[in-house]
C-alpha cells in the first residue's frame, strides 16, 4: 500500500518538526507492508530527505519542467535537479496543473524526462464533474492515459493515481459501485502490465473506511489531510487494519 502525502503549497522548516510523529509511527509498524512518500514544495525536498535518512519514508516532488537539459527557464526546476536534492518520486499530471494549461502532450514529455533522471512517477488522471455527468469519464481517462504515456513501453516505475477533479477538496467521493467500475476500467487500459492504481480526491479519516474496501486500489494520494500528522497516521492505520 502506498500513502502519498501531497503537501501542495504548504510548509516551512519549522513544519518539519511535525514529521517526528509519522517517523515514530513508521518505525513501530515495520511489519506492515506500506510505503509512505512525502511530496513537499521544492524548498523542503532536501531538508525533508535528510530528516527521513534513517527511515523507510521517501520523498518526492510535485511537478517538474519537461526539459531534461538545463536552459533559460526562469523559475523552473527539471527532473535532474529534483533527483539531485533527494527526490525519488515526482507527481505529474495533477489536475491543479492541468487546469492552468498543462496538456497531455506536455505531461508526456515530463514523464519521459523524469524516467531519464531515474525518478519514479505518480501519474495523475481524472475527469471533471461536467465530464462525468456527460458520461465521458472513460473517454477522458482513456485519452489521458494514451497521450500521457505515449511511446513509453516500460511502466514499471509509474504509479497511476486516479483523482476525480470534482472530488478534490470537496469531501465528496464516488459511490462504491461507480468507483469500482472506474478503477477496473483504468486497469483494463494496461492489459498485462498491471500498474499500481491509487485513489486521490478528498481522502480523509471519515471516508477511508469506504475507500479501502474498493478492489484494485493499492493506496492513496492524500492532500490536505496529510499536512496534519495525526490525520495522516489515522488514515494509514485505518487502511492497514
Q: Is 181 a catalytic residue?
A: no
Cβ 22 vs Cβ 232: under 8 Å: yes
Neighbours of 69 (CB within 10 A): 8
Q: Which CATH number belongs to the domain containing residue 193 in this structure?
A: 3.20.20.70
The 3-class SS string of 72-96 reads CCCCCCEHHHHHHCCCCEEEECCHH
Cβ 166 vs Cβ 172: under 8 Å: yes
* Of 102, 127, 131, 163, catalytic: 163
Between CA 176 and CA 187, with CA 181 as vertex, the angle to 5 degrees is: 125
Q: Tell me which residue range forms the domain holding 87.
A: 2-240
Q: Is 65 a catalytic residue?
A: no
For the purposes of burial, counting CB atoms within 10 Å of the CB of 128, is it exposed (0-12), middle (13-18) or buried (19 or more)? Answer: middle
Q: Model-level pTM?
A: 0.96
Confidence at residue 169, expressed as pLDDT on a 0 to 100 scale: 77
* Of 58, 65, 94, 102, catalytic: 94
Q: 3-class DSSP state for residue 69? A: coil
Per-residue pLDDT of the chain (241 residues; tens, 9 = 90+): 999 999 999 999 999 999 999 999 999 987 788 999 999 999 999 999 999 999 999 999 999 999 999 999 999 999 999 999 999 999 999 999 999 999 999 999 999 999 999 999 999 999 998 999 999 999 999 999 999 999 999 999 999 999 999 888 777 888 899 999 999 999 999 988 999 999 998 899 999 999 999 999 999 999 999 999 999 999 999 999 8
Number of domains in the chain: 1
Amino acid at each position: 500500500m502506498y500513502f502519498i502525502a501531497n503537501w501542495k503549497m504548504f510548509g516551512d522548516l519549522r513544519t518539519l518538526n511535525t514529521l517526528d510523529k509519522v517517523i515514530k509511527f513508521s518505525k513501530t509498524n515495520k511489519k506492515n507492508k506500506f510505503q509512505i512518500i512525502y511530496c513537499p514544495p521544492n524548498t523542503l525536498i532536501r531538508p525533508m530527505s535528510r530528516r527521513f535518512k534513517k527511515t523507510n519514508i521517501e520523498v518526492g516532488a510535485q511537478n517538474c519542467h519537461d526539459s531534461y537539459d538545463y536552459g533559460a527557464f526562469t523559475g523552473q526546476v527539471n527532473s535532474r535537479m529534483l533527483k539531485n536534492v533527494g527526490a525519488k518520486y515526482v507527481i505529474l499530471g495533477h489536475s491543479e496543473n492541468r487546469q492552468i494549461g498543462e496538456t497531455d502532450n506536455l505531461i508526456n514529455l515530463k514523464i519521459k524526462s523524469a524516467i531519464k533522471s531515474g525518478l519514479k512517477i505518480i501519474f495523475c488522471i481524472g475527469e471533471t464533474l461536467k465530464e462525468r455527468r456527460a458520461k465521458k469519464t472513460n473517454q477522458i481517462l482513456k485519452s489521458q492515459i494514451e497521450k500521457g504515456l505515449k511511446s513509453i513501453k516500460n511502466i514499471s516505475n509509474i504509479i497511476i493515481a486516479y483523482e476525480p477533479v470534482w472530488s478534490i477538496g470537496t469531501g465528496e467521493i464516488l459511490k462504491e459501485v461507480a468507483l469500482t467500475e472506474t478503477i477496473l476500467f483504468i486497469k483494463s487500459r494496461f492489459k498485462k502490465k498491471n500498474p499500481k492504481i491509487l485513489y486521490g480526491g478528498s481522502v480523509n479519516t471519515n471516508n477511508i473506511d469506504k475507500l479501502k474496501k474498493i478492489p484494485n486500489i493499492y493506496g492513496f494520494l492524500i492532500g490536505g489531510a496529510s499536512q496534519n500528522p495525526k490525520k495522516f497516521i489515522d488514515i494509514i492505520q485505518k487502511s492497514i487494519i
